[in-house]
Copies of this chain bind each other. A is one copy, B any other.
Amino acid sequence: MSPTDPNALASNLSGMSKHDASTPIAELGRRSKAASRALATASTEQKNHALHAAADRLVVSSDAVLSANAVDVTRAEADGVSSTVVDRLRLDEKRIASMAGGLRQVASLADPVGEIIDGWVRPNGLRISRVRVPLGVIAIIYENRPNVTSDAAGLCLKAGNAAFLRGSSGAIDSNIAIETVLRSAITEASLPADSVILVADTSREAAVEFMRQRDTIDCLIPRGGPSLIASILENATVPYVIDGDGNCHVYVDVDADLEMAIQIIVNAKMQRPSVCNAAETLLVHRDVAGEFLSRAVSALAGVELRADQRALEFLPGATLATEEDWSTEFLDLTLAVGIVDDLDAAVEHIARNGSGHSEAIVTRSLEAADRFTHEVDAAAVLVNASTRFVDGEEFGFGAEIGISTQKLHARGPMGLRELTTAKFIVRGQGQTRG
């Protein structure tokens, strides 16, 4: 078999897949659980070996993966899927190299498993410690990006978890090809192939069944839009972490460095408007509103502004914001702009309209900074910095599996630590309870 013969490789790859769409999901779950037990005690070296092997094999097998991907792309185009979606689906040598690079990057990160979180001794002599351990089986439901198959599997594996994956029907050929490469690489490190299992049945019924595998799934992380989240809220019985919307605000305080504030809102809104940590609303203290907005308007050229009555005065090209605009995550070059009387009003506006993702204040006032960080309830609160920094890479986690907007388990960017749980270890000398 030569890597220059994609058909031979593709056929070989599908032969390596250990399951098909007819395998019951509960059975796949049991296999995933069994694999998770081996992974939980695997050494860092073994896990890194598997990640490097997976990276190498992805590159070597790129022709096969690309020919599987071509099937998905052709089908999507025939189905008249939008060019944005086709673009997300399409792989090329560069994207495969980037997936491989991601796996090597995860291999280079510190292993979170075994970290002693804290520990103490009780008056009766019991020594208690809390140790970081893998979650077990992490399930991921995701949409059309086939790179998630390798990105998510790599993160799960490094943290000692089995990855139980359910991608979309649109990317199924790509996903199976990638899963097959990963599974064979993992066995090279003497870890179970079932450390990564992709559910090949892409029906809605299978998705619902998947999110109810309470005996085997320890944590479900959805990567998708509102309809997926709604389905999880309605149907899931397994524990999950939601990666939700980001309706992020930048508040320009009366004591702001206005030039800094312009840089920050321009960056927060315009650097990458389609992502969850981009700003959606600008709030300005009334005493600096005139000067600030007059200067900001040219820096924000190209951004559609939706302003409240008072801000309209300084923003000639803006339209009047509707009530709905304040709670909308535009995800494009649109910005709601409001003038507030003081910091209290800004905090109140954010409490009413924010989604608890990332909120920024620009100020030179220590008191304003302290009050804002204390009173605003969000995963991240920033002082004099762009909301765009709220991200696993930028926080130094090395990689992220998502950004949690819920408060349980993980809040904000989720790195390897968030893919673990803790175990209490209690050491005694025969103590019994009186």
Contacts and interface: CB of A to CB of B under 8 A. Distances in A.
Interface of A: 37, 40-41, 120, 122, 126, 128, 133, 135-136, 214, 218-219, 233-234, 237, 239, 241, 257, 260, 263-264, 266-268, 271, 351, 369, 373-375, 377-386, 388-390, 394-396, 406-409, 411-413, 421-433
A42 to B, nearest CB: 11
Given A41-B375, A271-B433, A351-B37, A395 B424 contact: yes
A380 B286 CA distance: 55
Contacts of A264: 430, 432
A135 B377 CA distance: 10
Per DSSP, chain A at the interface is mixed
B218 A407 contact: yes
Sorted from nearest, which 6 A-B pairs have the closest CB atoms?
A: A385-B428, A267-B432, A407-B421, A260-B430, A409-B409, A380-B424
Given A407-B421, A408-B241, A385 B427 contact: yes
Contacts of A424: 379-381, 390, 395, 411-413
A64 B369 CA distance: 48
Nearest to A33: B351
Nearest to A131: B373
Contacts of A37: 351, 377
A200 to B, nearest CB: 26
B136 A407 contact: yes
Given A260-B430, A390-B424, 5 more contacts: A263-B430, A369-B427, A381-B424, A388-B432, A408-B421
B267 A426 contact: no
Contacts of A214: 233
21 contacts: A37-B377, A41-B374, A122-B394, A136-B407, A214-B233, A218-B407, A219-B407, A239-B406, A263-B430, A263-B432, A377-B423, A382-B428, A383-B426, A383-B427, A385-B426, A385-B431, A386-B431, A386-B432, A389-B428, A411-B421, A411-B423
Nearest to A122: B396
A378 B423 contact: yes
Contact of A430 (B120, B373, B385): B385
Contacts of A409: 408-409
Contacts of A388: 432-433
A10 to B, nearest CB: 38
A260 B428 CA distance: 11
Contacts of A268: 432
A194 B428 CA distance: 44
B136 A377 contact: yes
Contacts of A394: 122, 126, 433
Q: Which of A133, A383, A408, A431 neighbours the largest number of chain B CB atoms within 10 Å of its CB? A: A408
A332 to B, nearest CB: 18
A407 B40 CA distance: 14
Contact of A373 (B234, B383, B425, B431): B425
Nearest to A129: B373
B120 A396 contact: yes
Contacts of A260: 430
Nearest to A272: B433
A307 to B, nearest CB: 23
A377 B40 contact: yes
Contacts of A408: 135, 218-219, 239, 241, 408-409, 421
A28 B398 CA distance: 42
Contact of A237 (B233, B271, B379): B233
A304 B290 CA distance: 82
A382 B413 CA distance: 33
From A369, A389, A390, A411, name the one whose CB has the most chain B CB atoms within 10 angstroms. A389
Contacts of A126: 385, 389, 394
B389 A433 contact: yes
